[in-house]
Structure 1
Amino acid sequence: MVEKLIAFSLRNRFLVLLFATGIFIYGIYSVNTSKIDAIPDLSENQVIVFTEWMGRSPQIIEDQVTYPLVTNLQGIPQVKYVRASSMFGMSFIYLIFDDNTDIYWARSRVLERLNSIGNVLPAGVVPSMGPDGTGVGHVLWYKLDAPGMDLGEQRALQDWYIKFALQNVPGVSEIASFGGFQKQYQIAVDPNKLSYYKLKVSDIMTAVNANNNEAGGRKFEMSDIGYIIKTTGYLQSVEQIENIAVRTANSIPVRVKDVATVQMAGESRLGIFDYNGEGEAVGGIVVLRYGENADQMIQRVKEKMKEVSKGLPDGVKFNIVYDRGELIEESISSIKHTLIEEMIVVSLIVIIFLFHWRSAVSIIIQIPVTIAASFIILNLFDISSNIMSLTGIALAIGVIVDNGIIMAENSYKHLAHRQAELNADQEGGQYVQ
């Protein structure tokens, strides 16, 4: 079979060269369209369901949130198993699907089941799905360099401006904010004053909720002019909250500030983000969407950061803490250098030992064609160009080179023997004559 293939190739050299050229062109296209990342994605095919019920103990979360959700989410098609974790105020459920399951099909099945759960959860508890990212999707970390700006203002800038801008970049699954303080109005109730005015905490909550609302009116026409009537009732300052009337005692209103202290403060935190021991910092984590090209997404995020920087306050700028793009560039640069070095070494070896430049050229041509063909296979199996795959290609180059040298040397030896036999036959024929 091999002999027939070699004979066919020798008789049809133009077809062989045309086929090799087509493979090389298609391989170049595959190289340009290949998904590039530094770390291979070996994470499981999973969908995360997150539920928040702050202030409750892990046991309450387990009994009233996690267990009902796990029992209702079991039985979804193509689910291998369901894992769950309960902690203070939060519940996490991990649904592990078969490896060949489409992630967005799986997410739609989970969402469909969540919508049909009904009233099995406590009032006000709403489960939600996590981002469509993978376990190795944290491709870019950044922090804000904002001298003179407090942590609360930095976090507000991150949550209400930067996050929304970067979230729209194609390939980004989520911008996870970290560090700083999330501003909130806090009402610290004095129990002694509550008892004096015969009030309950629920009365304070009801009064605040009732006064933090807007009511729509209607269109009012007067003198052929239409006026839109509405009320503006959202609370906008500490003073407005303090002046809310909770009840009336002897025609005198009891206001919130009479029984409690209102202040603007930060939400309770379970940890902080410190950068190089220089103090707390505020920033975000860019999470890669499932199946996206990490290298292209990182470049798009950096370009978007340049646009976002124009709208930042004076002195505020981005400081990239972790960038997987650098590791990706080093991986690609490594295989390029390996390819060039091995082509040079092979050429020198063949020329020195065989003194035959055509043999060297044939081996040099084999290397890029074979590498281009390997990227075609990678794309067909949806394998990204990462450290593992590129290292495998770099190691395979050595096998290709060794094979080319051996075949060239073997062919050269057989041709030399055959030429010697032909010369001997010619000399013998002349001697007989």
Structure 2
Amino acid sequence: MVEKLIAFSLRNRFLVLLFAVGIFAWGIYSVKTSKIDAIPDLSENQVIVFTEWMGRSPQIIEDQITYPLVTNLQGLPKVKYVRANSMFGMSFIYIIFEDNVDVYWARSRVLERLNSIGSALPKGVTPTMGPDGTGVGHVLWYTLEAPGMDLGEQRAVQDWYVKFALQNVPGVSEIASFGGFQKQYQINIDPNKLTYYKLSVSDITRAVNANNNEAGGRKFEMSDVGYIIKTTGYLKSIKEMENLAVRTQNSIPVKIKDVATVQMAGESRLGIFDYNGEGEAVGGIVVLRYGENADEAIKKIKAKMIEVSRGLPQGMRFNIVYDRGELIEEAISSITNTLIEEMIVVSLIVIAFLFHWRSAVSIIIQIPITIAASFIILNAFDISSNIMSLTGIALAIGVIVDNGIIMAENSYKHLAIRQAELNELRIGGKTDAK
């Protein structure tokens, strides 16, 4: 088989050359379209389910949320195991699927099951799925530098402007905000006054909910002109909330300000984000979508940041804290330089030992063709160009050249034997002639 292949190649050198050029061109295209990342994604194929029920202890979360969800999610097809973690006010469930399962198929199965078990959870509790990212999906962290600006204002800019803009970048799964304060209206009830007016906390809650909504009417026509009737009832200030009537006693309305104080403050926090010991900071984490090109996505995110910066408040700017793009560039540059150095060294060694430029060229030309062809295989198996895969290619250069050297040496050996046989025949012929 091998002898026939070699004989065919020798008889059809042009076809072999054309085939090699085609493989090399395809390999170059694969190099340009290959997914680039600094580290390989070795995380498990998982779907995260997050449930929030603030104010409850871990034991209550475990009994009323985590346990019902885990028992229902265990019956999903192609699930290896289900892990869970209960903490104060929050529940995390990790559904680990088999490695060959498509991540979006797995997410759709989990979503179907979540829609069917809502009645098993407490009222008002809604489990949600985590982003379609991986354990190594945090490709970029940034903070907002705004000297003199309130942390609550910075968090508002992050949540209502920056986050929505960056989420539109292709390849981005989520922008996770951190730091600062999330503004909210807080009603601090005086229990003594509540008892005096014979009210309950539910009465306060009901009054706020009933007076913080909008209602639509119908179309009213007058003088051939149509008017849309609606009522605007959203609360817009602390004063409006303070003047809400909870109940009327003896023709006198009891307002919220009579039994409580209203203030604008931040939501309770479980931690803070400090940057370089200089104080608290507000920012976000860019989570990459599963299977996306990290290098390309990071470049698009940075370009989007430049565009978003034009709409930021005066004095505010982006500060990139962690950028995997720099690590990717350093890793690719290091491996590329190593490949070039190895190709040069191997070429010099081949020339020095064979001392025949045609044989050396036939061996050296195998290196770029084989390396380019290896990227075809990487793309076929959806393997990114990272430190591990490129290092493997660098280590394999010796094996690539070794075959050529052995074949060239074997050819020289057979040619030498053949030449010796011919010399013996010539010497024998001359002896007979004499």
Q: What is the TM-score with the length of structure 1 in the denominator? A: 0.95
- CA distance change for structure 1 residues 4 and 429 in 2, over 3 Å: closer, same or farther? same
Q: Which residue of 2 aligns with 1:207?
A: 207
Find out whether 1:20 has 2:20 as its counterpart: yes
Q: Which residue of 2 aligns with 1:52?
A: 52
Amino acid aligned to 2:331: S
What is the CA-CA distance between 1:318 and the residue it aligns to? Answer: 1.1
Contact 1:184–1:266 (CA<8 Å) still a contact in 2?
A: yes
Greater shift, 396-405 or 209-218, is seen at: 396-405
Q: Which residue of 1 aligns with 2:301?
A: 301
Contact 1:288–1:294 (CA<8 Å) still a contact in 2?
A: yes
| Amino-acid identity (%) | 85
Equivalence map 1:110-149=2 (5 Å): 110-149=110-149
Amino acid aligned to 1:94: Y
Q: Distance in 2 between matches of 1:350 and 1:42?
A: 38
What is the CA-CA distance between 1:414 and the residue it aligns to? Answer: 4.0
Query: Root-mean-square deviation (CA), in Å?
Result: 1.8
Q: Which residue of 2 aligns with 1:284?
A: 284
Greater shift, 414-423 or 84-93, is seen at: 414-423
Equivalence map 1:66-105=2 (5 Å): 66-105=66-105
Q: Distance in 1 between matches of 2:360 and 2:280?
A: 60
What is the CA-CA distance between 1:265 and the residue it aligns to? Answer: 0.6
Q: Secondary structure at the match of 1:136?
A: coil
- CA distance change for structure 1 residues 312 and 423 in 2, over 3 Å: closer, same or farther? farther
Q: Distance in 2 between matches of 1:419 and 1:318?
A: 75
Q: Which runs of 5+ in 2 are unaligned?
A: none
Contact 1:346–1:360 (CA<8 Å) still a contact in 2?
A: no
Q: Which residue of 2 aligns with 1:225?
A: 225
Equivalence map 1:12-411=2 (5 Å): 12-411=12-411
Contact 1:180–1:281 (CA<8 Å) still a contact in 2?
A: yes
What is the CA-CA distance between 1:85 and the residue it aligns to? Answer: 1.3
Amino acid aligned to 1:370: T
Greater shift, 328-337 or 41-50, is seen at: 328-337
Q: Secondary structure at the match of 1:204?
A: helix
Q: Secondary structure at the match of 1:119?
A: helix
Q: Distance in 1 between matches of 2:341 and 2:413?
A: 27
Q: Secondary structure at the match of 2:396?
A: helix
- CA distance change for structure 1 residues 86 and 134 in 2, over 3 Å: closer, same or farther? same
Q: Distance in 2 between matches of 1:166 and 1:118?
A: 32
Q: Distance in 1 between matches of 2:428 and 2:140?
A: 78
Contact 2:335–2:387 (CA<8 Å) still a contact in 1?
A: no
Note the alpha carbon deviations across 1:264-292, whole angstroms, 9 max, x for none: 11111111111111111111111111111
Amino acid aligned to 2:240: Q
Contact 2:118–2:126 (CA<8 Å) still a contact in 1?
A: no
Q: Distance in 2 between matches of 1:332 and 1:102?
A: 29
Q: Distance in 1 between matches of 2:227 and 2:153?
A: 38
Q: Distance in 2 between matches of 1:184 and 1:275?
A: 25
Note the alpha carbon deviations across 1:354-377, whole angstroms, 9 max, x for none: 332212211221011111121111
Q: Secondary structure at the match of 1:135?
A: coil
Amino acid aligned to 1:318: F
Q: Distance in 2 between matches of 1:10 and 1:281?
A: 69
Q: Distance in 2 between matches of 1:245 and 1:70?
A: 44
Q: Which runs of 5+ in 1 are unaligned?
A: none
What is the CA-CA distance between 1:32 and the residue it aligns to? Answer: 1.9
Amino acid aligned to 1:411: S
Q: Secondary structure at the match of 1:134?
A: coil
Q: Distance in 1 between matches of 2:430 and 2:150?
A: 102
What is the CA-CA distance between 1:352 and the residue it aligns to? Answer: 2.8
Greater shift, 341-350 or 261-270, is seen at: 341-350
Q: Distance in 2 between matches of 1:374 and 1:242?
A: 70
Amino acid aligned to 1:251: S
What is the CA-CA distance between 1:425 and the residue it aligns to? Answer: 4.4
Q: Distance in 2 between matches of 1:164 and 1:422?
A: 82
Q: Distance in 1 between matches of 2:211 and 2:222?
A: 30
Amino acid aligned to 1:342: E
Note the alpha carbon deviations across 1:299-355, whole angstroms, 9 max, x for none: 111111111111111221111111111121222222321222122222322333333
Q: Secondary structure at the match of 2:312?
A: coil
What is the CA-CA distance between 1:416 and the residue it aligns to? Answer: 4.4
Contact 1:166–1:305 (CA<8 Å) still a contact in 2?
A: yes
